[in-house]
Amino acid sequence: MIENIRELLKAHEGLRREVYLDIENSSIIPKEVVDTMLPYFNQHAYGNPTLTHKPGWEAYEAIMKASQEIAMFSGCKTLEEVNFTPGETEANNLALMGTAFSMTGEGKKIVISEIEPLSVLHVANLLQKHGFTVVKVPVNEEGLINLEKLRETVDKETILVSLSTVNHEIGTIEPVKEALEIVKDKNPKTIFHTDASDAYGKTAFNMKDLNVDLATISSYKILGPRGTAALCVKEGVTIKRIIEGQIGTQKLWPGIENTPLIVGFAKASELAFHNFEENVNHMRRLRDKLIDGVTAKISDVKLNGPENDRRAPDNVNISFLKCEGEALTIELSLNGVYVSSGSACTRRLLQPSHVLVAIGRKFALAHGSILMKVTRYHTEEDVDYVLEVILKAVGRIRGIVGSVEVDSHV
Protein backbone atom coordinates (compact mmCIF):
# COMPACT_ATOMS: atom_id res chain seq x y z
CA MET A 1 0.00 0.00 0.00
CA ILE A 2 2.80 2.42 0.93
CA GLU A 3 4.63 1.63 -2.30
CA ASN A 4 1.47 2.30 -4.31
CA ILE A 5 1.08 5.68 -2.63
CA ARG A 6 4.71 6.52 -3.36
CA GLU A 7 4.22 5.69 -7.03
CA LEU A 8 1.13 7.89 -7.19
CA LEU A 9 2.98 10.75 -5.53
CA LYS A 10 5.88 10.36 -7.96
CA ALA A 11 3.41 10.64 -10.84
CA HIS A 12 2.50 14.12 -9.57
CA GLU A 13 6.00 15.52 -10.11
CA GLY A 14 6.28 18.40 -12.56
CA LEU A 15 2.60 19.37 -12.53
CA ARG A 16 1.79 22.47 -14.56
CA ARG A 17 -0.64 23.76 -11.97
CA GLU A 18 -2.32 22.58 -8.76
CA VAL A 19 -5.83 23.54 -7.65
CA TYR A 20 -7.13 22.26 -4.31
CA LEU A 21 -10.93 22.03 -4.16
CA ASP A 22 -11.35 19.37 -1.45
CA ILE A 23 -12.33 21.84 1.27
CA GLU A 24 -15.02 19.40 2.42
CA ASN A 25 -12.36 17.12 3.88
CA SER A 26 -9.55 19.46 4.86
CA SER A 27 -8.27 22.88 3.94
CA ILE A 28 -5.24 24.97 3.17
CA ILE A 29 -4.55 27.23 6.13
CA PRO A 30 -3.77 30.85 5.18
CA LYS A 31 -0.41 32.24 6.27
CA GLU A 32 -2.12 34.79 8.52
CA VAL A 33 -3.75 31.99 10.50
CA VAL A 34 -0.53 30.00 10.82
CA ASP A 35 1.39 33.10 11.91
CA THR A 36 -1.26 33.82 14.55
CA MET A 37 -1.01 30.30 15.98
CA LEU A 38 2.78 29.88 16.09
CA PRO A 39 3.53 32.00 19.19
CA TYR A 40 1.01 29.98 21.20
CA PHE A 41 3.09 26.83 20.80
CA ASN A 42 6.31 28.09 22.38
CA GLN A 43 6.44 31.81 23.18
CA HIS A 44 3.42 32.60 25.32
CA ALA A 45 0.05 31.16 26.35
CA TYR A 46 1.44 27.63 26.18
CA GLY A 47 0.24 26.93 29.72
CA ASN A 48 -2.86 25.22 31.02
CA PRO A 49 -5.56 27.94 31.17
CA THR A 50 -6.88 26.64 34.49
CA LEU A 51 -3.57 27.08 36.37
CA THR A 52 -2.59 30.09 38.43
CA HIS A 53 0.67 31.18 36.87
CA LYS A 54 1.67 33.52 34.05
CA PRO A 55 1.56 31.01 31.13
CA GLY A 56 -1.81 29.76 32.41
CA TRP A 57 -3.24 33.26 32.71
CA GLU A 58 -2.02 34.09 29.21
CA ALA A 59 -3.66 30.95 27.82
CA TYR A 60 -6.91 31.75 29.62
CA GLU A 61 -6.90 35.29 28.23
CA ALA A 62 -6.24 34.01 24.69
CA ILE A 63 -9.12 31.53 24.86
CA MET A 64 -11.54 34.10 26.26
CA LYS A 65 -10.57 36.57 23.53
CA ALA A 66 -11.08 33.92 20.86
CA SER A 67 -14.45 32.99 22.40
CA GLN A 68 -15.53 36.61 22.34
CA GLU A 69 -14.55 37.03 18.68
CA ILE A 70 -16.28 33.82 17.56
CA ALA A 71 -19.37 34.76 19.60
CA MET A 72 -19.50 38.08 17.74
CA PHE A 73 -19.11 36.51 14.29
CA SER A 74 -21.63 33.71 14.95
CA GLY A 75 -24.22 35.95 16.57
CA CYS A 76 -24.02 34.48 20.08
CA LYS A 77 -25.24 36.72 22.88
CA THR A 78 -22.25 36.08 25.16
CA LEU A 79 -18.86 34.39 24.89
CA GLU A 80 -20.06 31.79 27.41
CA GLU A 81 -22.35 30.40 24.70
CA VAL A 82 -19.29 29.23 22.71
CA ASN A 83 -18.13 25.75 23.72
CA PHE A 84 -15.00 24.49 21.96
CA THR A 85 -14.69 20.82 20.98
CA PRO A 86 -11.99 18.91 19.07
CA GLY A 87 -14.06 18.97 15.89
CA GLU A 88 -17.43 19.12 14.15
CA THR A 89 -18.07 15.43 14.84
CA GLU A 90 -17.59 15.92 18.59
CA ALA A 91 -19.78 19.05 18.58
CA ASN A 92 -22.63 17.19 16.88
CA ASN A 93 -22.25 14.26 19.26
CA LEU A 94 -22.40 16.68 22.18
CA ALA A 95 -25.49 18.38 20.76
CA LEU A 96 -27.49 15.18 20.27
CA MET A 97 -26.36 13.08 23.21
CA GLY A 98 -26.12 16.06 25.54
CA THR A 99 -29.72 16.94 24.76
CA ALA A 100 -30.97 13.36 25.01
CA PHE A 101 -29.34 12.86 28.41
CA SER A 102 -30.63 16.16 29.78
CA MET A 103 -34.28 15.82 28.67
CA THR A 104 -35.22 12.82 30.79
CA GLY A 105 -38.96 12.73 31.40
CA GLU A 106 -39.72 15.12 28.51
CA GLY A 107 -39.98 12.49 25.78
CA LYS A 108 -37.90 10.09 23.73
CA LYS A 109 -38.36 11.31 20.15
CA ILE A 110 -35.59 12.76 17.96
CA VAL A 111 -36.23 14.21 14.50
CA ILE A 112 -33.58 14.75 11.83
CA SER A 113 -33.55 15.17 8.08
CA GLU A 114 -32.58 12.28 5.79
CA ILE A 115 -29.46 14.12 4.63
CA GLU A 116 -27.80 15.11 7.89
CA PRO A 117 -24.03 14.47 8.16
CA LEU A 118 -23.03 11.08 9.51
CA SER A 119 -21.93 12.68 12.80
CA VAL A 120 -25.63 13.42 13.32
CA LEU A 121 -27.12 10.39 11.58
CA HIS A 122 -24.96 7.82 13.36
CA VAL A 123 -25.52 9.38 16.78
CA ALA A 124 -29.27 9.35 16.19
CA ASN A 125 -29.03 5.67 15.25
CA LEU A 126 -27.04 4.98 18.41
CA LEU A 127 -29.63 6.74 20.57
CA GLN A 128 -32.30 4.63 18.90
CA LYS A 129 -30.59 1.56 20.35
CA HIS A 130 -30.94 3.16 23.78
CA GLY A 131 -34.71 3.50 23.60
CA PHE A 132 -35.14 6.76 21.68
CA THR A 133 -37.41 7.00 18.65
CA VAL A 134 -35.72 8.56 15.61
CA VAL A 135 -37.69 9.93 12.68
CA LYS A 136 -35.93 10.98 9.49
CA VAL A 137 -37.86 13.61 7.54
CA PRO A 138 -37.58 13.27 3.73
CA VAL A 139 -36.23 15.92 1.37
CA ASN A 140 -37.07 16.76 -2.24
CA GLU A 141 -34.79 16.26 -5.25
CA GLU A 142 -32.90 19.45 -4.39
CA GLY A 143 -32.35 18.41 -0.79
CA LEU A 144 -34.88 20.79 0.77
CA ILE A 145 -36.62 19.36 3.82
CA ASN A 146 -40.34 18.64 3.57
CA LEU A 147 -41.76 21.17 6.03
CA GLU A 148 -45.23 19.60 6.04
CA LYS A 149 -43.76 16.22 6.97
CA LEU A 150 -41.78 17.98 9.69
CA ARG A 151 -45.00 19.54 10.99
CA GLU A 152 -46.69 16.13 11.05
CA THR A 153 -43.74 14.52 12.83
CA VAL A 154 -43.04 16.90 15.73
CA ASP A 155 -45.21 16.32 18.79
CA LYS A 156 -45.14 16.57 22.58
CA GLU A 157 -42.72 13.65 22.78
CA THR A 158 -40.13 15.35 20.54
CA ILE A 159 -37.11 16.47 22.55
CA LEU A 160 -34.76 17.36 19.69
CA VAL A 161 -34.79 18.38 16.04
CA SER A 162 -31.52 18.58 14.08
CA LEU A 163 -31.39 20.20 10.64
CA SER A 164 -28.20 21.47 8.99
CA THR A 165 -28.25 25.09 7.84
CA VAL A 166 -26.41 24.10 4.67
CA ASN A 167 -26.02 20.51 3.50
CA HIS A 168 -22.35 19.59 3.49
CA GLU A 169 -22.47 17.60 0.24
CA ILE A 170 -24.91 19.27 -2.15
CA GLY A 171 -24.93 22.82 -0.74
CA THR A 172 -28.67 23.09 -0.13
CA ILE A 173 -29.51 26.07 2.06
CA GLU A 174 -32.27 24.72 4.27
CA PRO A 175 -35.27 26.79 5.50
CA VAL A 176 -34.04 26.61 9.10
CA LYS A 177 -35.99 29.62 10.32
CA GLU A 178 -39.29 28.27 8.97
CA ALA A 179 -38.50 24.82 10.35
CA LEU A 180 -37.74 26.28 13.77
CA GLU A 181 -41.06 28.15 13.84
CA ILE A 182 -42.91 24.94 13.00
CA VAL A 183 -41.08 22.98 15.69
CA LYS A 184 -41.55 25.55 18.44
CA ASP A 185 -45.20 25.99 17.51
CA LYS A 186 -45.78 22.24 17.88
CA ASN A 187 -43.64 21.89 21.03
CA PRO A 188 -41.89 24.91 22.62
CA LYS A 189 -39.78 22.58 24.77
CA THR A 190 -38.14 20.88 21.79
CA ILE A 191 -34.46 21.73 21.44
CA PHE A 192 -33.51 22.80 17.90
CA HIS A 193 -29.95 22.06 16.72
CA THR A 194 -28.36 23.02 13.42
CA ASP A 195 -25.00 21.98 12.04
CA ALA A 196 -23.96 25.33 10.59
CA SER A 197 -20.43 24.26 9.65
CA ASP A 198 -21.04 24.85 5.94
CA ALA A 199 -22.93 28.08 6.56
CA TYR A 200 -20.62 29.88 9.00
CA GLY A 201 -18.46 32.37 7.12
CA LYS A 202 -20.19 31.68 3.78
CA THR A 203 -23.85 32.60 4.28
CA ALA A 204 -25.83 34.99 6.43
CA PHE A 205 -25.92 32.48 9.32
CA ASN A 206 -26.48 34.16 12.68
CA MET A 207 -27.47 32.51 15.98
CA LYS A 208 -29.42 35.54 17.14
CA ASP A 209 -31.40 35.95 13.92
CA LEU A 210 -32.24 32.26 13.59
CA ASN A 211 -32.86 31.88 17.33
CA VAL A 212 -31.78 28.23 17.29
CA ASP A 213 -30.91 26.56 20.60
CA LEU A 214 -27.71 24.81 19.48
CA ALA A 215 -25.41 25.39 16.50
CA THR A 216 -22.25 23.62 15.40
CA ILE A 217 -19.54 25.62 13.65
CA SER A 218 -16.23 24.29 12.36
CA SER A 219 -12.74 25.74 12.01
CA TYR A 220 -11.42 23.93 8.95
CA LYS A 221 -14.55 24.66 6.92
CA ILE A 222 -13.49 28.34 7.00
CA LEU A 223 -9.82 27.54 6.26
CA GLY A 224 -8.86 27.37 9.92
CA PRO A 225 -6.88 24.57 11.60
CA ARG A 226 -8.29 21.08 11.93
CA GLY A 227 -8.89 19.79 15.44
CA THR A 228 -11.21 22.47 16.75
CA ALA A 229 -14.85 23.45 16.36
CA ALA A 230 -17.55 24.85 18.62
CA LEU A 231 -21.04 24.08 19.79
CA CYS A 232 -22.91 27.33 20.38
CA VAL A 233 -25.44 26.87 23.16
CA LYS A 234 -28.04 29.61 23.50
CA GLU A 235 -28.22 31.25 26.90
CA GLY A 236 -30.81 29.46 29.05
CA VAL A 237 -30.50 26.13 27.21
CA THR A 238 -29.08 23.31 29.33
CA ILE A 239 -27.48 20.14 27.99
CA LYS A 240 -25.24 17.60 29.71
CA ARG A 241 -21.63 16.92 28.88
CA ILE A 242 -21.00 13.48 27.42
CA ILE A 243 -17.42 12.86 28.57
CA GLU A 244 -15.85 13.30 31.99
CA GLY A 245 -12.44 14.55 33.06
CA GLN A 246 -10.62 17.65 34.18
CA ILE A 247 -12.89 20.67 33.81
CA GLY A 248 -11.16 23.68 32.28
CA THR A 249 -12.67 26.74 30.66
CA GLN A 250 -15.07 24.54 28.65
CA LYS A 251 -17.70 23.19 31.03
CA LEU A 252 -19.27 20.96 28.36
CA TRP A 253 -16.00 19.47 27.07
CA PRO A 254 -13.49 18.51 29.78
CA GLY A 255 -9.75 18.44 29.17
CA ILE A 256 -6.95 20.88 28.52
CA GLU A 257 -7.91 23.32 25.78
CA ASN A 258 -5.81 23.48 22.61
CA THR A 259 -4.98 27.17 22.76
CA PRO A 260 -3.11 27.46 19.43
CA LEU A 261 -5.95 25.87 17.45
CA ILE A 262 -8.63 27.92 19.19
CA VAL A 263 -6.70 31.11 18.46
CA GLY A 264 -6.34 29.97 14.84
CA PHE A 265 -10.10 29.34 14.65
CA ALA A 266 -10.75 32.91 15.77
CA LYS A 267 -8.29 34.32 13.22
CA ALA A 268 -9.83 32.24 10.44
CA SER A 269 -13.23 33.62 11.45
CA GLU A 270 -11.91 37.17 11.28
CA LEU A 271 -10.56 36.58 7.76
CA ALA A 272 -13.78 34.90 6.61
CA PHE A 273 -15.93 37.81 7.72
CA HIS A 274 -13.57 40.55 6.49
CA ASN A 275 -15.04 41.84 3.22
CA PHE A 276 -17.73 39.21 3.66
CA GLU A 277 -20.02 40.24 0.79
CA GLU A 278 -17.10 40.57 -1.59
CA ASN A 279 -15.80 37.14 -0.62
CA VAL A 280 -19.21 35.49 -1.03
CA ASN A 281 -19.81 37.12 -4.41
CA HIS A 282 -16.37 36.00 -5.58
CA MET A 283 -17.04 32.40 -4.56
CA ARG A 284 -20.47 32.49 -6.17
CA ARG A 285 -18.99 33.67 -9.49
CA LEU A 286 -16.41 30.88 -9.48
CA ARG A 287 -19.06 28.32 -8.45
CA ASP A 288 -21.31 29.31 -11.35
CA LYS A 289 -18.44 29.36 -13.83
CA LEU A 290 -17.45 25.85 -12.79
CA ILE A 291 -21.02 24.52 -12.94
CA ASP A 292 -21.80 26.22 -16.25
CA GLY A 293 -18.51 25.09 -17.77
CA VAL A 294 -19.07 21.44 -16.89
CA THR A 295 -22.77 21.22 -17.74
CA ALA A 296 -22.34 23.06 -21.05
CA LYS A 297 -19.33 21.13 -22.31
CA ILE A 298 -19.88 17.57 -21.06
CA SER A 299 -22.81 15.34 -21.90
CA ASP A 300 -24.63 13.10 -19.43
CA VAL A 301 -23.95 15.12 -16.29
CA LYS A 302 -26.27 16.10 -13.47
CA LEU A 303 -25.91 18.91 -10.93
CA ASN A 304 -26.70 17.62 -7.46
CA GLY A 305 -28.54 20.12 -5.30
CA PRO A 306 -30.30 23.41 -6.08
CA GLU A 307 -29.20 26.28 -8.28
CA ASN A 308 -28.56 29.97 -7.66
CA ASP A 309 -29.37 31.53 -4.26
CA ARG A 310 -30.69 28.30 -2.77
CA ARG A 311 -27.18 26.85 -3.03
CA ALA A 312 -24.17 27.65 -0.84
CA PRO A 313 -21.80 29.99 -2.70
CA ASP A 314 -18.85 27.58 -2.57
CA ASN A 315 -20.46 24.24 -3.41
CA VAL A 316 -20.25 22.30 -6.69
CA ASN A 317 -21.46 18.68 -6.71
CA ILE A 318 -21.85 17.03 -10.11
CA SER A 319 -22.53 13.46 -11.19
CA PHE A 320 -21.03 12.07 -14.39
CA LEU A 321 -22.82 9.15 -16.01
CA LYS A 322 -20.53 6.38 -17.32
CA CYS A 323 -17.73 7.74 -15.16
CA GLU A 324 -16.88 6.26 -11.74
CA GLY A 325 -16.22 8.92 -9.12
CA GLU A 326 -13.09 7.37 -7.58
CA ALA A 327 -11.51 6.92 -11.00
CA LEU A 328 -12.29 10.53 -11.89
CA THR A 329 -10.86 11.75 -8.58
CA ILE A 330 -7.57 9.94 -9.25
CA GLU A 331 -7.40 11.12 -12.86
CA LEU A 332 -7.94 14.72 -11.77
CA SER A 333 -5.34 14.39 -9.03
CA LEU A 334 -2.72 13.19 -11.52
CA ASN A 335 -3.28 16.49 -13.31
CA GLY A 336 -3.14 18.66 -10.18
CA VAL A 337 -6.86 19.09 -9.48
CA TYR A 338 -7.86 17.80 -6.05
CA VAL A 339 -11.53 17.02 -5.37
CA SER A 340 -13.48 14.43 -3.40
CA SER A 341 -15.63 11.60 -4.65
CA GLY A 342 -19.05 11.74 -3.04
CA SER A 343 -18.98 12.10 0.74
CA ALA A 344 -15.72 11.92 2.68
CA CYS A 345 -17.53 9.78 5.23
CA THR A 346 -18.58 7.01 2.83
CA ARG A 347 -16.15 6.90 -0.07
CA ARG A 348 -13.80 4.31 1.44
CA LEU A 349 -16.75 2.00 2.05
CA LEU A 350 -17.56 2.04 -1.69
CA GLN A 351 -21.14 2.93 -0.84
CA PRO A 352 -23.12 5.68 -2.57
CA SER A 353 -23.62 8.84 -0.56
CA HIS A 354 -26.76 8.69 1.59
CA VAL A 355 -27.42 12.31 0.59
CA LEU A 356 -27.47 11.51 -3.13
CA VAL A 357 -29.63 8.45 -2.52
CA ALA A 358 -32.08 10.58 -0.49
CA ILE A 359 -32.53 13.07 -3.35
CA GLY A 360 -33.30 10.25 -5.75
CA ARG A 361 -30.01 9.68 -7.55
CA LYS A 362 -29.70 6.19 -9.02
CA PHE A 363 -26.66 4.02 -8.27
CA ALA A 364 -24.69 5.00 -11.41
CA LEU A 365 -25.12 8.74 -10.85
CA ALA A 366 -24.48 8.54 -7.11
CA HIS A 367 -21.22 6.64 -7.69
CA GLY A 368 -20.18 9.03 -10.44
CA SER A 369 -20.27 12.19 -8.33
CA ILE A 370 -17.48 14.56 -7.39
CA LEU A 371 -17.62 17.36 -4.84
CA MET A 372 -15.68 20.60 -5.28
CA LYS A 373 -15.65 23.68 -3.07
CA VAL A 374 -14.18 27.03 -4.03
CA THR A 375 -12.75 29.62 -1.64
CA ARG A 376 -12.05 33.33 -1.65
CA TYR A 377 -8.46 32.51 -2.62
CA HIS A 378 -9.30 30.70 -5.86
CA THR A 379 -9.10 32.57 -9.15
CA GLU A 380 -10.73 32.59 -12.58
CA GLU A 381 -7.55 31.01 -13.93
CA ASP A 382 -7.90 28.17 -11.41
CA VAL A 383 -11.39 27.42 -12.66
CA ASP A 384 -10.25 27.59 -16.29
CA TYR A 385 -7.61 24.98 -15.54
CA VAL A 386 -10.05 22.77 -13.61
CA LEU A 387 -12.49 22.81 -16.53
CA GLU A 388 -9.71 21.94 -18.94
CA VAL A 389 -8.62 18.98 -16.82
CA ILE A 390 -12.15 17.71 -16.15
CA LEU A 391 -13.02 17.73 -19.84
CA LYS A 392 -9.98 15.63 -20.71
CA ALA A 393 -10.34 13.33 -17.67
CA VAL A 394 -13.97 12.49 -18.37
CA GLY A 395 -13.17 11.83 -22.02
CA ARG A 396 -10.29 9.55 -21.06
CA ILE A 397 -12.34 7.57 -18.54
CA ARG A 398 -15.35 7.19 -20.77
CA GLY A 399 -13.01 6.10 -23.50
CA ILE A 400 -15.05 7.80 -26.18
CA VAL A 401 -13.68 11.14 -27.29
CA GLY A 402 -16.93 12.02 -29.01
CA SER A 403 -18.87 11.76 -25.72
CA VAL A 404 -17.22 14.95 -24.53
CA GLU A 405 -17.65 18.15 -26.52
CA VAL A 406 -14.28 19.83 -26.05
CA ASP A 407 -14.24 23.60 -26.46
CA SER A 408 -10.75 24.96 -27.11
CA HIS A 409 -11.73 28.29 -25.57
CA VAL A 410 -12.26 26.76 -22.10
Chain-centre distance for alpha carbon 47: 31
Q: Are 115 and 169 in contact (CB under 8 A)?
A: yes
Q: What are phi and psi of 177, to 5 degrees?
A: -65, -45
In angstroms, rounded to a whole number, what is the distance separating the alpha carbons of residues 144 and 45?
45
Q: What 3 state SS string does 301-348 have?
A: EEECCCCHHHECCCEEEEEECCCCHHHHHHHHHCCCEECEECCCCCHH
In angstroms, rounded to a whole number, what is the distance separating the alpha carbons of residues 169 and 65?
32
Active-site residue flag, 345: yes
In angstroms, rounded to a whole number, what is the distance separating the alpha carbons of residues 344 and 169?
9
H helix intervals, 44-87 = 54-74
In angstroms, rounded to a whole number, what is the distance separating the alpha carbons of residues 361 and 141?
8
Sign of CA dihedral 185, 187, 189, 193: negative
Q: Are 134 and 110 in contact (CB under 8 A)?
A: yes
Residues 6+ apart with CB under 8 A from 139: 113, 114, 115, 145, 146, 172, 358, 359
Q: Which residues are catalytic?
A: 345
